C-alpha cells in the first residue's frame, strides 16, 4: 500500500526532472558555438520502483513505478573520432608549416617573369656575345663587368635570403616547443581538477571538453598518443618519444615533463634534437630526413615539418651554391685564357667560393679593360654547354711511356662521394711501355666502367691532348687525385690534382631545374594541406554530428520538457484537488 | 544519416566563403597580370619549360643582334672588296696605258707615282672600319691594322689572324668577314672525327712548301704506319705528323684539327706556296683533305714570319710593340707594278748613290746623221747657269755631214760633258734608244735645254722649242748590280735566329751542278773540313760560319773549271747561292756518293737556280707585263673573297629568317603556356561570383530559419 502523498511525490519528482533537463538544454543552447563543446544530455530514467505483493501475483513481489529521475548528465562524444581528429591535426600542422616555409623559399626565386637569376644569367652571357662582336670596345667590357656584378649580387642576395630562412628555424622551433610546454601544463592542471571532481562523484564534462580541445591543439605540434585513466587522469606521449609529457605521479596526480630543444647537435653540429627533462630523446633531423623520403610521405606535426623544411631549404641553398661555384670556376677558366701580351696579366673574373661570397675580381672591378675580348666567344659559349666535364692539364697527344706501375694509378671521386682507386694496369688492362693517347683513353674508360659501372663516366679529350672526364649524371664536386705520396700517376696523366664542380646540365637548365623543384615543393605542400584540411573538415563534420549542438533539436526538447513540466504540474494540482476533496469535503 | 549541428552550418559557411575568396583572388591575379603562371608553384611541371622558352627567346634576341652585326660587317666587307676590285682595275688601266710604247719614261714615272698613291688608298681601304671596329684586323680591331712605312714603302700589320666570328645559332659560330691577312694554314673540308675507312690509295698525297720543295707523303710508311682499314682521327693525325716531320724536318709543318673533325696543316709563314697536292694514282688528298688545297690568303695577303726580326718594325701607334710585314696580296702587286714602271730608269730602290737623271725622247737607236752645226749645240745646267755644249770639236771627223752610231754619239757626248763638268755627268741610254744623262750627287737643278735657236736639243733629246728636260731625283745603283741578270738559288729551309743545325754528318754533304752537258760541272761539296775541322759533332753553327765555310768549299771545288759562286743569305734566315747569269742549269742536288743530306739540311731540298734580275734590267716591259698579269690574278682573288662574303651573307640572312620564324612560334608557345584566356576567365569569374552569392544566401537563410521563430 502506497502512502497518501505518493502521487504528489511522483509529480514533484517529475517537475524536478524536467527542470534539470531544461537546465541541461539551456546549457547546450548557450554553448552552441563554443569551440570543443560536446553537447550534454540529461539521462532521464524511471526511479527505482516499489516492490509489493499484488493481487494478481500473490506469490511474487509486484512492482510499482515511482516516477522519473535524472541519473546523470552525459557528455555525448566519440573517443574514436577524437583520435582521428588529432591525427588529422598532426598531418595538417605538418603540411601547413612546410607550406609556410616553402612559400618563403619560393619567394626568393623571382621567376618566371621577375628580374630573377635566369634573366641576369642570360644577359651575362649575351653581353659576352656582344663583347665577341666588339672585342676591344671599352663600353661593352664595362657592360660585361656590370652584368657580372649584378649576377654576383643576385647570387649573394638569394643566398642571404635563403640562409635567413635557415637561421629563423631554431627560433621558430623554440617558440613551438614553448607552446607545447604551455599546453601540457594546462592539460596537467585540468586533469588534476578533473581527478578531484571525479573523486567527489562529480561529472566534469566541461573540463574534459577543454582538455580535449587542448589535446587537439597539441596534436598540431606533433603526433601525440593519449592514454585516459579511469580516475580522470591522463598520459600523453609526444612524437613517438619513449618519455611521457603528461603522466601521473605516485599519488595519482598529473604532472608534466618539460620539452626542450637542443640545436647544433649531432656529430657535425647540424642536427636538432628534442629533449624531455633535459634528456635528448628525439633526433628531429634524422626523423625529418626519413619522412622526406618515406613511402608514407608525411610526418606529423609542425615541429617535424619545420625541421624537414629546413633540410629542404638547405638542399636548395646547396644547389644554388653549386651553381655559383661552377660559374666562378668555368668563367674564370675561359675568360682567363692567355690573351695578347699586354693583357696577359693573370686575373680572375669572379672571386669567392660560392653563392655566399661570389663577387667580381678586383682587377675587373677597377678596370674592366683587363677583360680579354678575344676570349669572349669561348665564355659566351659556356652558356650553352652542359657543365659536367673535368679536364686534365697534361698533354698526352703523343702518348706516354709507362715505366712503372705507379704511373698507372690515380683516384677518382664522384659527386656522390663514391671514391675509387683506378689502376690502369689491373682495371684497364694497360701494359707497361709506349702507349698511344687512344690506348690510354680506352684503358681509363675500361677501368672507370669497371669501378663505377658502365656509362657513369666517359673519357674523352679536349682536342688539345688533355684528358676530359664527362660525368653522366649528378651534381657536385668531381675530383681526381693521386695515389701514394708522390702522386706519380696523377702527374703523369693529369698534371696536377683536379677538382671541379659539375652540374650535369647547362647553368640555365640547372637553375630551371632548381626553380621547378622549389615550385613543385610549394605546390605539393599546398595540395597536401588542402587534402588534409578536407579530411579534417570531414572528421570535424562527423564529430559535430555526434557532439555538436543543434538549436532546433534543443528547442524541440525545450518544448518537450515544457510540456512535461506542465503535465507534472497539472498532476500536482490534480492530486491537490483529490486530497482537497478527501480532506475538506468529508466531514 | 549524419546529424547536422548548428555550428557545423556556420563552419561550413566560413569554409565556403574562404574557398570562394581564394578562387576570386587567383582570378584577380590572373586577370591583372594576364598570365596563369606567376610563380614557380603555379605550375611546377611547366615552369622549367616556360623558363627555357623564355631563355631561348632572350638568346635568340642576342643571336639576332649578332646576325645584324655580322651582316653589317659583311656588307661593309663587301663594299670594301668592291672598292678594292675597282682600285685594282683602275691600276690595271693605268698600267696598260703606261705599257704603251709611246709613253716616255717621265709619263711612266707620273703613272708610277699615281699607282704608288693608290697603294696608300688601298691601305686606307684595308683600314675600313665599322662603328670604330676595323674590319680586316682580326679580333684586335680597335686600331687601324695596316700601316705603310713611309721609309720603305712596305706595308705592316698590327692586328691578329683570328677571324671575327659571330655565334648565330646554338653552339655554332661563323666568321663574318674575309680575312685581312692569313697564316699559312691549310684546312681540310672532310669531317674525319668519326674515323675513316682507308684503302692503300688513300695513304699517299703530296705536300708543297714552294715550287722547289714538294714532298711525297706516304702515311703507310711512317712509324707507326697507318694501315688500310678503319682508322681513328687521332691515329691519322699522328701518322700524318710523323710523315711530314720525316719529309720536311721536324717542326716545319704542324698537324692540328679544328675540333670539328677537319685536319689543319700549319706551316711557317715563310713557305711561299704551301699546298696539298695529288700524288700520282692516289686519292689521299681527296679522302683526307677534300681535294687539292692551297692556303687561303687574306684579302690583303699574308703575314711574313714574325719569328724573323727583319720582318718587323716597331709600331708607331703602340711604341714597344712590333708590327709584322705583309707579304703578297694587292699591295705587292701594285708595288711590283710601280717598280716595273720605274724600272726603265736608272733607279734602284735598295741602295745607290743619289743622282738626278733625265731621259731624252728622241729615238737614236739606229744612229743619226748630223747635217749642220746647229744640230750639235745645246745647253746643260748643273746647279748653276746653263753651260753651252758643242759636240762639234769631239767628232771623229771634222766635217759635216757625219753619220754616227748611237754608241758613238754617247761617247762623243760623254767626252764633251766630261770636259765641261768633270765626272759629274754620265751618259747612258734607257735601253730604248733614248739618251740618258745622269748627274751624280745631290743635284737639285739638272736641266737640258736649247742653246738659243740651235736645234741640238731637238735632235738629240727630242725637245721642243722653249722646252726643257728636267732632271728627276733618283738613285744610282751600285755599279756592280746595274743591268746584270743573276742566277739565284735561295734555300727554302728557314734557319731561325741565323743558326744552322747539323744533326748528322750527312748534313754536310751535297752536290752543286752548273751548266748543261756536255759542259756540265758537278761537284760534291763536303763541309766537314771547313766547318768542323774534320770531326763532326751534332750542333748549331752560326749563319756566318756556314757562309764562310761554304764559300771556301764551293769555290775551291769550282776553281779548276774557272767558275765561281757567291755565297750569301737573304737576310731572312735562308742561304743563297748566286752564279753568274751565263751559267745555265744551276742546281743544288743530293749527293750520290757519298750519300749526303746537305741539300735538305741547308737548302730545304733539291733546288734549281732562278734567273732573277736586279732592277735596271734590260727588259722592263716584260716585268710590266708580268705585273699586269699579277694584277689580274689579284683582281680574281678579290672577286673570290667577295663571293665568299656574299655566300656568308645569304647564310646569315636565312638564319635570321629562321630566327624570326622561331620567335613567332616561341611567343605562341609562351602564350599557350601562361597566357590567360580572358573570355574563359571572365566566365569563370562570373560563375564564381554567382556561386558565392548563392552560398551566402542559402547559408543565411538556413541559419535564420529556426524553430525559435515559431516559439511563443
ipTM of this predicted structure: 0.75
CA distance A515 to chain B (A): 6
Burial B371-405 (b: 16+ CB within 10 A, else e): eeebbbbbbbbbeeebeebebbebeeeeeeebebe
Q: Is B5 on the interface with A (CB under 8 A)?
A: yes
Sequence-distant (6+) residues with CB within 8 A of B638 are B81, B84, B85, B88, B299, B330
Calculate what percentage of chain A has a pLDDT beyond 70.
Answer: 95
Residues B199 and B286 in one domain: yes
Q: Which residues pair with B213 in a beta bridge?
A: B210
CA distance A179 to chain B (A): 26
Q: Is the pLDDT of residue B150 over 90?
A: no
> Would the pTM of this model clear 0.80, i.e. be above it?
no
Poorest-pLDDT segment among A74-83, A271-280, A318-327, B600-609: B600-609
Q: CA torsion angle for A124, A129, A135, A137 (degrees, to 10)?
A: -60
Confidence at residue B478, expressed as pLDDT on a 0 to 100 scale: 43
- B38 contact residues in A (CB cutoff 8 A): 113
Fill in the DSSP letter of residue B298. Answer: B
- A556 contact residues in B (CB cutoff 8 A): 707
Distance of alpha carbon A298 from its chain centroid, rounded? Answer: 8
Q: Is A100 on the interface with B (CB under 8 A)?
A: no
Answer for the pair A168, A162: CB distance below 8 angstroms, yes or no: no
Residues B220 and B287 in one domain: yes
Residue B631 lies in a domain: no
CB contact under 8 A, A545 and B142: no
CB contact under 8 A, A398 and B43: no
Q: Is A118 on the interface with B (CB under 8 A)?
A: yes
Calculate what percentage of chain B has a pLDDT beyond 90.
Answer: 7
Alpha-carbon separation of residue A423 from A396, A408, A450, A460, A468 (angstroms): 18, 6, 11, 18, 18
Residue ending a domain, among B547, B581, B615, is: B615
Cell of B410: 754617247
Distance of alpha carbon B541 from its chain centroid, rounded? Answer: 33
Select the more confidently predicted residue: A234 or B209.
A234
Cell of B34: 594576364
Poorest-pLDDT segment among A9-18, A209-218, B96-105: B96-105
Q: Is B151 on the interface with A (CB under 8 A)?
A: no
Over range B477-506, report the average pLDDT.
67
Of B7, B62, B238, the CB nearest to A126: B62
Residues B506 and B611 in one domain: yes
Chain B, window 14-43: residues with a beta carbon less than 8 angstroms from a chain A beta carbon? 15, 35, 37-43
Q: Is the pLDDT of residue B218 over 90?
A: no
Over range A185-211, report the average pLDDT.
93
B648: closest CA among B58, B56, B21, B76?
B76
CB contact under 8 A, B65 and A133: yes
- Nearest residue on chain A to B160, alpha-carbon basis: A340
Of A133, A397, A546, the CB nearest to B66: A133
Residues B564 and B672 in one domain: no
Residue B276 lies in a domain: yes
Residues B462 and B497 in one domain: no
Confidence at residue A172, expressed as pLDDT on a 0 to 100 scale: 93
As a whole number of angstroms, the distance between CA A368 and CA A363 comes to 7
Residues B260 and B284 in one domain: yes
As a whole number of angstroms, the distance between CA B404 and CA B236 comes to 75
Answer for the pair A410, A480: CB distance below 8 angstroms, yes or no: yes
Number of residues written out for chain B: 712
Confidence at residue B476, expressed as pLDDT on a 0 to 100 scale: 54
Number of residues written out for chain A: 587
List, for residues A338-372, the tens digit of each pLDDT value.
544 444 456 789 999 999 999 998 888 888 888 88
Confidence at residue A56, expressed as pLDDT on a 0 to 100 scale: 64
CA atoms within 13 A on the CB side of B265: 30
Answer for the pair A543, A420: CB distance below 8 angstroms, yes or no: no
As a whole number of angstroms, the distance between CA B692 and CA A41 comes to 37
- Mean pLDDT over the full length of chain B: 81
Residues B253 and B375 in one domain: no
Residues B519 and B584 in one domain: yes
B347: closest CA among B436, B448, B409, B421?
B436
Alpha-carbon separation of residue A320 from A121, A384, B459, B515, B593 (angstroms): 13, 18, 97, 81, 76
Confidence at residue B474, expressed as pLDDT on a 0 to 100 scale: 63
Over range A526-547, report the average pLDDT.
91
Burial (CB count <10 Å: 0-12, 13-18, 19+), residue A62:
middle
Select the more confidently predicted residue: A379 or B392.
A379
CA distance B175 to chain A (A): 11
Residues B194 and B248 in one domain: yes
Sheet holding A259-265, edge to edge: A259-265, A271-276, A279-283
Answer for the pair B269, B184: CB distance below 8 angstroms, yes or no: yes
Over range A140-166, report the average pLDDT.
93
Q: Is the pLDDT of residue B275 over 60?
A: yes
Over range B196-202, report the average pLDDT.
84
- B174 contact residues in A (CB cutoff 8 A): none
Quick count: other Cβ atoms within 10 Å of Cβ A584?
A: 8
CB contact under 8 A, A551 and B321: no
Residue B308 lies in a domain: no
Residue B623 lies in a domain: no
Fill in the DSSP letter of residue B219. Answer: G
Interface size, chain A vs chain B, as Cβ–Cβ contacts under 8 Å: 191
Residue B148 lies in a domain: no
Q: Which helix (H) or strand (E) element contains residue B220?
A: none
Cite the beta strand spans of A297-404 per DSSP E: 350-351, 359-360, 389-391, 400-402
Residue B625 lies in a domain: no
As a whole number of angstroms, the distance between CA B472 and CA B592 comes to 55
Over range A1-7, report the average pLDDT.
77
Residues B424 and B510 in one domain: no
Confidence at residue A297, expressed as pLDDT on a 0 to 100 scale: 67
Residue B265 lies in a domain: yes
Over range A524-543, report the average pLDDT.
91
CB contact under 8 A, A135 and B139: yes
Sheet holding B353-359, edge to edge: B425-429, B435-440, B353-359, B472-476
Domain region containing B677: 6-44+664-711
CB contact under 8 A, B167 and A380: yes
A202: closest CA among A194, A210, A191?
A194
Identify the top-confidence range among A145-154, B38-47, B288-297, B496-505: A145-154
B207: closest CA among B281, B295, B94, B269?
B295
Q: Which residues pair with B326 in a beta bridge?
A: B303
Of B7, B40, B171, the CB nearest to A106: B40
CB contact under 8 A, A519 and B47: yes
**Domains held by chain B: number:** 4
- B323 contact residues in A (CB cutoff 8 A): none
Chain A, window 401-440: residues with a beta carbon less than 8 angstroms from a chain B beta carbon? 436-438
CA distance B598 to chain A (A): 29
CB contact under 8 A, A341 and B321: yes
Poorest-pLDDT segment among A157-171, A500-514, B327-341, B568-582: B568-582
Residue B140 lies in a domain: no
As a whole number of angstroms, the distance between CA B95 and CA B112 comes to 8
Q: Is the pLDDT of residue A327 over 80?
A: yes
- A391 contact residues in B (CB cutoff 8 A): none
Chain B, window 378-407: residues with a beta carbon less than 8 angstroms from a chain A beta carbon? none
CB contact under 8 A, B141 and A136: yes
Cell of B10: 556556420
CB contact under 8 A, B257 and A135: no
Confidence at residue B90, expressed as pLDDT on a 0 to 100 scale: 87
Q: CATH number of the domain at B586, please.
A: 2.60.40
Judged by DSSP in three states, B337 sits in helix
Q: Is the pLDDT of residue B617 over 60?
A: no
In which residue are the cell numbers 701607334 written?
Answer: B317
Q: Is the pLDDT of residue B25 over 90?
A: yes
Over range B617-632, report the average pLDDT.
69
B269: closest CA among B254, B289, B249, B259?
B254
- A111 contact residues in B (CB cutoff 8 A): 39-40, 47, 51
CA atoms within 13 A on the CB side of B336: 21
CB contact under 8 A, A111 and B51: yes
Confidence at residue B610, expressed as pLDDT on a 0 to 100 scale: 66
Judged by DSSP in three states, A353 sits in coil
- A547 contact residues in B (CB cutoff 8 A): 5
Residues B464 and B490 in one domain: no
Residue ending a domain, among B444, B473, B502, is: B473
DSSP states along A95-150: HHHHHHHHHHHHHH---SSSS-HHHHHHHHHHHHHHHHHSTT-HHHHHHHHHHHHH
Cite the beta strand spans of B113-212 per DSSP E: 129-130, 133-134, 146-148, 155-157, 165-169, 172-175, 185-187, 196-198, 204-210
CA distance A526 to chain B (A): 9
Residue ending a domain, among B251, B280, B295, is: B295
Which of B43, B44, B140, B324 should one mutate to test binding to chain A, selecting the residue with the greatest count of A CBs within 10 A?
Answer: B44
Rg (CA), chain A: 40
- A438 contact residues in B (CB cutoff 8 A): 232, 234-235
Residues B467 and B492 in one domain: no
Confidence at residue B680, expressed as pLDDT on a 0 to 100 scale: 92
CB contact under 8 A, B52 and A541: no
Over range A476-496, report the average pLDDT.
84
Amino acid at each position: 500500500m502506497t502512502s497518501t502523498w505518493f502521487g504528489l511525490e511522483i509529480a514533484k519528482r517529475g517537475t524536478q526532472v524536467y527542470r534539470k533537463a531544461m537546465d541541461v538544454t539551456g546549457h547546450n543552447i548557450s554553448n552552441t558555438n563554443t569551440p570543443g563543446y560536446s553537447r550534454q544530455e540529461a539521462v532521464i530514467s524511471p526511479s527505482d520502483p516499489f516492490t509489493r505483493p499484488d493481487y494478481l501475483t500473490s506469490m511474487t513481489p509486484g512492482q510499482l513505478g515511482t516516477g522519473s529521475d535524472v541519473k546523470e548528465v552525459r557528455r555525448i562524444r566519440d573517443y574514436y573520432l577524437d583520435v582521428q581528429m588529432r591525427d588529422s591535426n598532426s598531418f595538417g600542422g605538418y603540411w601547413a608549416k612546410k607550406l609556410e616555409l616553402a612559400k618563403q623559399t619560393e619567394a626568393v626565386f623571382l621567376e618566371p617573369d621577375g628580374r630573377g637569376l635566369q634573366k641576369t644569367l642570360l644577359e651575362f652571357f649575351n653581353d659576352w656575345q656582344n663583347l665577341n662582336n666588339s672585342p676591344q670596345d671599352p663600353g661593352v667590357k664595362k657592360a660585361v663587368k656590370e652584368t657580372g656584378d649584378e649576377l654576383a649580387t643576385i647570387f649573394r642576395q638569394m643566398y642571404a635570403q635563403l640562409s635567413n630562412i635557415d637561421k629563423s628555424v631554431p627560433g621558430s622551433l623554440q617558440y613551438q616547443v614553448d607552446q607545447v610546454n604551455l599546453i601540457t601544463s594546462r592539460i596537467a592542471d585540468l586533469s588534476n581538477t578533473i581527478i578531484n571532481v571525479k573523486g567527489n562523484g562529480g561529472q566534469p564534462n566541461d573540463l574534459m571538453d577543454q582538455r580535449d580541445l587542448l589535446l587537439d591543439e597539441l596534436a598540431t605540434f606533433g603526433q601525440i598518443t593519449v592514454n585516459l585513466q579511469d580516475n580522470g587522469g591522463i598520459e600523453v606521449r609526444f612524437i613517438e618519444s619513449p618519455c611521457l609529457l603528461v603522466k601521473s605521479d605516485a599519488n595519482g596526480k598529473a604532472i608534466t615533463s618539460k620539452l626542450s630543444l637542443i640545436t647544433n647537435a649531432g656529430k657535425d653540429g647540424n642536427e636538432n634534437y628534442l629533449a624531455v627533462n633535459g634528456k635528448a630523446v628525439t633526433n628531429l633531423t634524422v626523423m625529418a630526413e626519413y619522412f622526406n623520403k618515406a613511402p608514407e610521405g608525411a610526418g606529423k606535426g609542425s615541429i617535424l615539418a619545420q625541421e624537414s623544411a629546413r633540410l629542404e631549404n638547405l638542399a636548395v641553398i646547396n644547389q644554388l651554391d653549386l651553381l655559383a661555384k661552377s660559374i666562378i670556376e668555368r668563367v674564370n677558366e675561359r675568360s682567363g685564357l692567355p690573351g695578347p701580351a699586354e693583357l696577359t696579366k693573370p686575373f680572375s673574373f669572379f672571386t669567392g667560393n660560392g653563392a655566399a661570397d661570389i663577387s667580381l675580381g678586383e682587377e675587373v672591378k677597377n678596370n674592366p679593360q683587363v677583360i680579354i675580348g678575344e676570349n669572349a666567344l669561348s665564355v659566351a659559349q659556356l652558356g650553352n654547354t652542359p657543365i659536367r666535364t673535368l679536364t686534365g692539364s697534361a698533354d698526352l697527344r703523343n702518348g706516354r711511356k709507362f715505366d712503372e706501375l705507379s704511373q698507372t694509378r690515380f683516384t677518382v671521386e664522384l659527386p656522390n662521394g663514391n671514391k675509387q682507386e683506378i689502376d690502369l694496369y689491373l682495371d684497364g688492362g694497360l701494359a707497361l711501355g709506349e702507349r698511344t693517347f687512344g690506348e690510354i683513353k680506352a684503358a681509363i674508360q675500361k677501368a672507370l666502367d669497371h669501378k663505377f659501372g658502365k656509362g657513369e663516366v666517359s673519357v674523352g679529350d679536349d682536342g688539345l691532348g688533355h684528358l676530359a672526364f664527362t660525368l653522366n649524371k649528378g651534381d657536385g664536386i668531381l675530383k681526381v687525385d693521386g695515389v701514394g705520396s708522390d702522386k706519380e700517376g696523377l702527374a703523369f696523366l693529369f698534371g696536377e690534382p683536379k677538382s671541379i664542380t659539375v652540374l650535369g646540365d647547362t647553368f640555365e637548365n640547372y637553375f630551371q631545374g632548381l626553380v621547378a623543384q622549389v615550385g613543385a615543393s610549394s605546390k605539393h605542400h599546398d595540395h597536401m594541406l588542402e587534402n588534409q584540411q578536407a579530411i579534417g573538415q570531414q572528421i570535424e563534420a562527423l564529430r559535430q554530428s555526434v557532439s555538436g549542438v543543434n538549436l532546433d533539436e534543443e528547442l524541440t526538447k525545450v518544448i518537450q520538457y515544457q510540456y512535461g513540466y506542465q503535465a507534472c504540474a497539472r498532476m500536482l494540482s490534480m492530486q491537490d484537488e483529490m486530497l482537497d476533496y478527501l480532506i475538506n469535503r468529508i466531514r | 544519416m549524419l546529424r547536422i549541428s548548428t555550428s557545423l552550418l556556420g563552419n561550413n559557411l566560413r569554409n565556403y566563403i574562404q574557398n570562394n575568396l581564394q578562387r576570386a583572388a587567383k582570378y584577380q591575379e590572373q586577370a591583372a597580370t594576364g598570365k596563369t603562371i606567376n610563380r614557380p608553384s603555379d605550375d611546377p611541371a611547366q615552369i622549367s619549360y616556360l623558363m627555357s622558352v623564355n631563355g631561348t627567346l632572350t638568346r635568340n634576341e642576342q643571336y639576332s643582334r649578332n646576325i645584324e652585326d655580322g651582316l653589317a660587317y659583311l656588307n661593309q666587307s663587301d663594299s670594301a672588296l668592291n672598292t678594292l676590285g675597282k682600285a685594282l682595275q683602275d691600276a690595271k688601266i693605268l698600267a696598260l696605258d703606261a705599257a704603251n710604247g709611246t709613253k716616255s719614261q717621265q709619263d711612266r714615272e707620273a703613272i708610277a707615282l699615281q699607282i704608288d698613291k693608290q697603294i696608300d688608298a688601298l691601305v686606307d681601304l684595308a683600314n675600313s672600319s665599322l662603328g670604330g671596329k676595323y674590319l680586316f684586323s682580326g679580333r684586335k680591331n680597335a686600331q687601324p691594322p695596316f700601316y705603310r712605312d713611309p721609309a720603305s714603302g712596305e706595308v705592316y700589320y698590327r692586328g691578329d689572324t683570328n677571324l671575327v666570328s659571330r655565334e648565330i645559332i646554338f653552339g655554332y659560330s661563323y666568321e663574318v668577314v674575309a680575312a685581312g691577312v692569313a697564316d699559312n694554314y691549310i684546312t681540310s673540308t672532310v669531317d674525319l672525327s668519326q674515323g675513316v675507312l682507308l684503302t692503300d690509295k688513300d695513304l699517299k698525297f703530296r705536300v708543297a712548301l714552294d715550287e722547289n720543295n714538294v714532298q711525297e707523303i706516304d702515311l703507310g710508311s711512317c712509324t707507326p704506319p697507318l694501315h688500310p682499314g678503319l682508322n681513328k682521327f687521332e691515329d691519322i693525325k699522328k701518322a700524318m705528323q710523323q710523315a711530314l716531320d720525316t719529309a720536311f724536318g721536324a717542326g716545319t709543318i704542324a698537324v692540328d684539327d679544328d675540333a670539328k673533325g677537319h685536319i689543319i696543316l700549319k706551316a711557317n709563314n715563310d713557305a711561299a706556296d704551301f699546298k696539298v697536292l695529288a700524288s700520282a694514282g692516289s686519292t689521299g688528298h681527296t679522302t683526307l683533305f677534300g681535294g687539292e688545297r692551297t692556303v687561303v690568303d687574306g684579302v690583303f695577303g699574308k703575314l711574313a714570319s714574325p719569328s724573323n726580326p727583319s720582318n718587323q718594325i716597331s709600331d708607331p701607334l703602340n711604341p714597344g710593340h712590333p708590327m709584322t710585314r705583309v707579304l703578297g696580296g694587292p699591295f705587292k702587286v701594285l708595288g711590283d707594278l710601280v717598280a716595273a714602271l720605274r724600272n726603265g730608269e736608272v733607279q734602284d730602290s735598295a741602295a745607290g748613290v743619289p743622282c738626278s737623271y733625265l731621259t731624252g725622247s728622241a729615238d737614236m737607236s739606229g744612229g743619226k746623221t748630223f747635217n749642220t752645226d746647229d744640230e750639235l749645240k745645246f745647253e746643260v745646267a748643273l746647279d748653276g747657269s746653263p753651260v753651252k755644249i758643242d759636240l762639234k770639236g769631239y767628232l771623229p771627223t771634222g766635217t759635216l755631214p757625219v753619220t754616227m752610231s748611237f754608241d758613238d754619239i754617247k761617247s762623243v757626248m760623254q767626252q764633251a760633258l766630261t770636259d765641261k763638268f768633270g765626272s759629274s755627268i754620265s751618259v747612258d741610254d734607257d735601253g730604248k734608244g733614248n739618251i740618258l744623262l745622269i748627274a751624280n750627287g745631290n743635284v737639285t737643278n739638272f736641266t737640258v735645254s736649247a742653246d738659243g735657236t740651235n736645234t741640238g736639243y731637238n735632235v738629240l733629246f727630242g725637245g721642243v722649242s722653249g722646252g726643257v728636260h728636267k732632271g728627276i731625283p733618283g738613285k744610282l745603283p751600285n755599279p756592280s748590280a746595274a743591268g746584270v741578270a743573276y742566277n739565284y738559288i735561295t734555300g727554302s729551309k728557314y734557319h731561325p735566329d741565323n743558326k744552322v743545325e747539323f744533326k748528322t754528318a750527312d748534313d754536310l754533304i751535297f752536290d752543286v751542278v752548273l751548266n748543261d752537258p756536255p759542259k756540265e760541272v758537278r761537284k760534291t761539296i763536303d763541309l766537314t773540313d771547313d766547318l768542323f775541322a774534320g770531326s763532326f759533332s751534332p750542333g748549331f753553327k752560326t749563319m756566318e760560319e756556314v757562309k764562310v765555310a761554304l764559300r771556301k768549299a764551293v769555290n775551291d771545288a769550282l776553281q779548276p773549271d774557272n767558275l765561281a759562286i757567291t755565297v750569301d743569305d737573304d737576310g731572312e734566315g735562308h742561304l743563297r747561292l748566286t752564279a753568274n747569269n751565263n751559267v745555265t742549269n744551276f742546281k743544288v742536288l743530293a749527293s750520290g756518293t757519298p750519300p749526303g743530306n746537305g741539300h735538305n739540311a741547308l737548302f730545304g731540298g733539291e733546288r734549281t737556280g732562278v734567273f732573277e734580275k736586279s732592277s735596271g734590267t734590260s727588259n722592263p716591259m716584260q716585268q710590266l707585263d708580268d705585273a699586269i698579269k699579277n694584277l689580274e690574278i689579284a683582281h680574281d682573288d678579290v672577286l673570290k673573297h667577295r663571293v665568299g662574303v656574299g655566300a656568308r651573307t645569304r647564310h646569315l640572312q636565312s638564319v635570321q629568317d629562321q630566327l624570326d620564324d622561331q620567335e613567332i612560334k616561341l611567343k605562341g608557345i609562351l602564350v599557350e603556356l601562361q597566357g590567360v584566356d580572358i573570355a574563359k576567365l571572365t566566365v569563370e569569374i562570373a560563375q564564381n561570383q554567382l556561386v558565392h552569392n548563392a552560398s551566402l544566401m542559402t547559408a543565411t537563410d538556413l541559419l535564420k530559419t529556426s524553430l525559435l521563430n515559431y516559439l511563443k
